[in-house]
Amino acid sequence: MRFPVFLGCVLVTIGLSASAWGQFKGSDAKGAKLGEAQTQYWQAGVIITARSGPCQGMVATAPIPVDWPEQETKIVEEDFCPQAKVSYRTVEGTVKQMVVFLPSLAAGAECRAVVTVEVTRHAQLRPENTDVFVLPDKREIPRDVRPFLGPSPEIESTSSRIKSVAKQFDVDEGKAWENVEAIYDWVRENVEHKQGHQGGALAALEKGSGDHEDLTSLFIAVCRASGVPARTVWVHQHCYPEFYLEDDEGEGHWFPCQAAGTRAFGEMPDHRPILQKGDNFRSPSNRRERKRYLPETLDGKGGRPSVRFVRELVSR
């Protein structure tokens, strides 16, 4: 069943806190400037088939893009089977999930729950004056930024080897922008970018090579060990890091950089839809488990369904 988004009143959207909402929208006067915009369409969701008998009590989740200062999103189509009960929720303030509850599905039947999101993504330009930025005071850092100072899966910022690298950069001695840029250049100069995931920051450091995800993790790990909050930005088939500094008025700003590929520090020419930001999510389906990226899930109480998760750019 396809129905336009203005009938979406049947859906439940969980509200964001004021601090979380601030990450999604708003101007960034001294931060990265917005450049040229491109509009694309992202489809996300799940297609479930009861191939070997009836299925019951299934719950599926799928992340969908949300608004950021450099990105605006709008759901333009919802394609849900009649049996599906769909709601939306946010996880840890940064990821939006579509939650699909399917009470039952007869043998041989199929249920489709897919949304199409219009994503307008801006390039980001380097700020004009980088001398105004300083390292944030750990005692006064915003609550939603604090998690990006500690270790994450494959980002071993508390490792003695990572800390040893961080000691080379006096980020707290002024010239914060230049010192973070020195970390960036060190990673790119000392770790060869090549295909083949090595397993994260420490593995890339030890082996001297890694893919875009490894270089991103290593840059983030050294930043965190130096007292600079940093996090992963996940886009279609790629990821890159962001780092956080404060300006001379105490306002915090996130700045992107391209750890692998063409050099881009404090700016981002990429227009691919931002899918998630962060790298240490507590899985809603298993609270003891931590995830670098919050994936699609399917759980059920009966039957053996087959599932195809939808995650792709589409034309309209």
The continuous run of DSSP H or E covering 76 comes out as strand 71-80
Residue whose pair of structure tokens reads 């809603």 in the numeric block: 284
Same fold, 2-123+294-314 and 129-266: no
How many angstroms separate the CA atoms of 74 and 171, rounded?
39
Rounded CA Rg of the chain: 21
> Cβ(31)–Cβ(70) under 8 Å?
no
pLDDT score recorded for residue 21: 35
- Which CATH fold would you assign to the domain 129-266? C8orf32 fold (3.10.620)
From the list 8, 159, 167, 179, the residue with the least C-alpha distance to 77 is 8
Per DSSP, helices labelled H in the chain are: 18-24, 160-166, 176-190, 201-207, 212-225
pLDDT score recorded for residue 285: 72
Going from N- to C-terminal start, the domains of the chain cover 2-123+294-314, 129-266
| Alpha-carbon 1 to chain mean position | 30
How many angstroms separate the CA atoms of 115 and 310, rounded?
9
Q: To 10 degrees, the CA torsion angle through 110, 119, 142, 240?
A: 90
pLDDT-flagged residues of the chain (< 70):
1-28, 173
Q: Which two tokens stand for residue 153?
A: 């899966």
> Cβ(65)–Cβ(117) under 8 Å?
yes
- DSSP letter at 195? S
How many angstroms separate the CA atoms of 36 and 122, rounded?
6
Paired sense of beta strands 192-193 and 209-210, if any: parallel
pLDDT score recorded for residue 177: 96
pLDDT score recorded for residue 28: 60
Q: Which two tokens stand for residue 5?
A: 């988004």
Q: Environment class of residue 139 by beta-carbon count within 10 Å: exposed (0-12), middle (13-18) or buried (19+)?
A: exposed
pLDDT score recorded for residue 23: 43
pLDDT score recorded for residue 4: 35
How many angstroms separate the CA atoms of 311 and 236, rounded?
9
- Which CATH fold would you assign to the domain 2-123+294-314? Immunoglobulin-like (2.60.40)
* For the chain, the helix, strand and coil percentages under 3-state DSSP, each to the nearest 5: 20, 40, 40
> Cβ(222)–Cβ(190) under 8 Å?
no
State the maximum Cα–Cα separation within the chain, in Å, rounded to a whole number. 66
